[in-house]
């Protein structure tokens, strides 16, 4: 029987709120068994860019990453956000190590092809170093992975954190029973975006199509759900979307994604 690994992704909305982050760290540190944390930090990067007078350009909700923006993202994701999380985990006796995709050749990407827009230094994941992750997990070390990857030719890339979490889950699913959790500020996928209690508790491929037709699922939730189904199609055991409470309380209302 394979050992279980919990892969938890948190976004910038949770990281920027210190009280919420502390609550999450408390719960994550108590999560039993092996675990990996994946984080973004887009809001913090946007705030720093504004202070430095650098315009943040978005297309269809996705950030255009020029050379100056990449410097900011590297400072925020790989520096402040990553090391703050690691330090807080160490304070809870969770032995963690902060990593970008360049460290240990962990996540290799290619520059996103130019179609309608050139997103700049944005990477699409090509490969995950599952052996390196297994080595850390086998030594009871918790990897904390930020949303930066590289091309093994010296170039860093800004990369979608939801995708990184899914790709990591897929890569280690041959060695572990992988459970993937997408934590954000809502209680799950909502039928009514203005009603936090309207959680759709189960979504499979059939109901997903109906929700798309009804335009209940749209915008930022679309790529997240794409990553959920992609993970399940590659032997990831369980995938959930919900609040930070779901990682320690199985009874917490959340959305379970299934094929």
CB atoms within 10 A of CB 170: 22
Alpha-carbon span 258 to 154, nearest angstrom: 38
Q: Determine the Cα angle at 53 with ends 223 and 71, to 5°.
A: 55
Which residues, in sequence order, are bridge partners of residue 241? 182, 255
Residue 63, annotated as binding a ligand: yes
Residue length of the chain: 259
CA-based torsion, 256, 205, 224, 200: positive or negative: negative
Closest-CA residue to 147 (of 101, 182, 111): 101
**How much is the CA Rg of the chain, to the nearest whole Å?**
17
Q: What are phi and psi of 47, to 5 degrees?
A: -65, -40
Closest-CA residue to 77 (of 27, 11, 25, 123): 11
Q: Which residue has the tokens 């749209």?
A: 218
Per-residue exposure over 88-101, b if at least 16 CB sit within 10 Å of its own CB, e if not: bbeeeebebbbbbb
Whether the Cβ atoms of residue 193 and residue 220 lie closer than 8 Å to each other? no
Residue partners of 142: CB distance under 8 A and separation at least 6: 34, 35, 36, 37, 89, 94, 95, 96, 97, 136
Residue 42, annotated as binding a ligand: yes
Binding residues for substrate: 41-42, 63, 158
Residue ranges for the known binding site are 41-42, 63, 158
């Amino acid at each position: 029987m394979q050992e279980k690994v919990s892969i938890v992704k948190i976004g910038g909305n949770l990281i920027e709120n210190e009280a919420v982050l502390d609550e999450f760290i408390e719960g994550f540190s108590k999560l039993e068994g092996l675990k990996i944390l994946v984080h973004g930090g887009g809001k913090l990067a946007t705030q720093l860019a504004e202070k430095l007078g650098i315009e943040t350009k978005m297309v269809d909700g996705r950030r255009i990453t020029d050379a100056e923006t990449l410097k900011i993202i590297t400072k925020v994701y790989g520096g402040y956000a990553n090391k703050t999380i690691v330090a807080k985990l160490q304070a809870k006796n969770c032995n963690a190590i902060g990593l970008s995709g360049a460290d240990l050749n962990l996540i290799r990407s290619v520059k996103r092809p130019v179609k309608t827009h050139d997103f700049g230094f944005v990477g699409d994941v090509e490969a995950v170093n599952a052996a390196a992750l297994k080595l850390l997990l086998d030594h009871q070390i918790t990897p904390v992975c930020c949303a930066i990857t590289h091309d093994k030719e010296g170039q860093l890339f800004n990369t979608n954190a939801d995708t990184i979490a899914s790709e990591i889950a897929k890569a280690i699913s041959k060695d572990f029973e992988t459970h993937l959790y997408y934590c954000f500020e809502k209680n799950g996928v909502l039928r009514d975006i203005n009603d936090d209690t309207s959680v759709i508790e189960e979504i499979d491929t059939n109901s997903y199509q109906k929700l798309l037709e009804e335009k209940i699922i749209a915008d930022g939730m679309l790529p997240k759900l794409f990553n959920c189904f992609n993970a399940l199609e590659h032997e990831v055991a369980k995938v959930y979307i919900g609040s930070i409470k779901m990682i320690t309380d199985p009874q917490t209302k959340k959305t379970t994604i299934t094929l």
